[in-house]
Structure 1
Amino acid sequence: MTRTVAIIPARGGSKGIPGKNIKPFLGTPLVGHAIKAALGAETVTDVIVSSDDDKILRVAEAFGATPLKRPPGISGDEASSESAVLHAIGALEICQQAETLLFLQCTSPLTTSAEIDQVVRSRIELKGDTAFSVVEVHAFLWEIGEDGSGYGVNHDASKPRQRRQDRPRQYRETGAIYALDRKGFAEAGQRFFGRSVPVVLSDAVEIDLDTPRDWLALEAYARSVGQACE
Structure 2
Amino acid sequence: MTNSNKPEVLAIIPARGGSKGLPRKNVLPLLGHPLIAYSIKAALESSVVTRTIVSTDDSEIADVSKKYGAELPFIRPAEFAQDLSTDLEVFKHAIQWLKENENYVPDYIVQLRPTSPVRPKGIIDTCFNKMKDNQGDSLRILTDSPLTPYKMWQLNEDGTEMKPLLYLEDNKEPYNSPRQILPKTYWQIGTLDIIKTSCITELNSMSGKTIIPYYITPDYAIDIDDIGSFEKAAQAIETNECIRFS
Task: Place the TM-score, normalised by the shorter chain, in its bin.
Answer: 0.7 to 0.9
Instruction: Please show how residues 7-156 of structure 1 align to structure 2 within 5 Å.
Output: 7-67=12-72, 68-93=74-99, 96-137=104-145, 139-141=147-149, 142-143=152-153, 145=155, 146-147=159-160, 151=164, 153=166, 156=174
Structure 1 alignment gaps of length 5 or more: none
Match of 1:216 in 2: 231
Partner of 1:2: 7
Q: Is residue 2:201 matched to residue 1:193? A: no
Structure 2 CA distance for partners of 1:55 and 1:203, relative to 1, 3 Å: same
Q: Does the residue aligned with 1:188 lie in a helix, a strand or coil?
A: coil
Q: CA deviation at 1:122?
A: 1.8
CA contact (8 A) 1:21 1:29 kept: yes
CA contact (8 A) 1:23 1:29 kept: yes
- Taking structure 2 as the reference length, the TM-score comes to 0.82
Residue type of the alignment partner of 2:153: E
2:144 touches 2:187 (CA, 8 Å); kept in 1? yes
Paired residue secondary structure (2:174): coil
Higher strand share: 1
Aligned length: 227
Q: Give me the whole-angstrom Cα distance separating, in 1, the residues matched to 2:52 and 2:58.
A: 17
Question: CA separation of 1:156/1:73 partners in 2, compared to 1, >3 Å: closer, same or farther?
Answer: same
CA RMSD of aligned residues (A): 2.5
What is the one-letter code of the residue matched to 2:87? S
Q: Identify if the C-alpha distance between structure 1 residues 176 and 95 changes in structure 2 by more than 3 Å, giving closer, same or farther.
A: farther
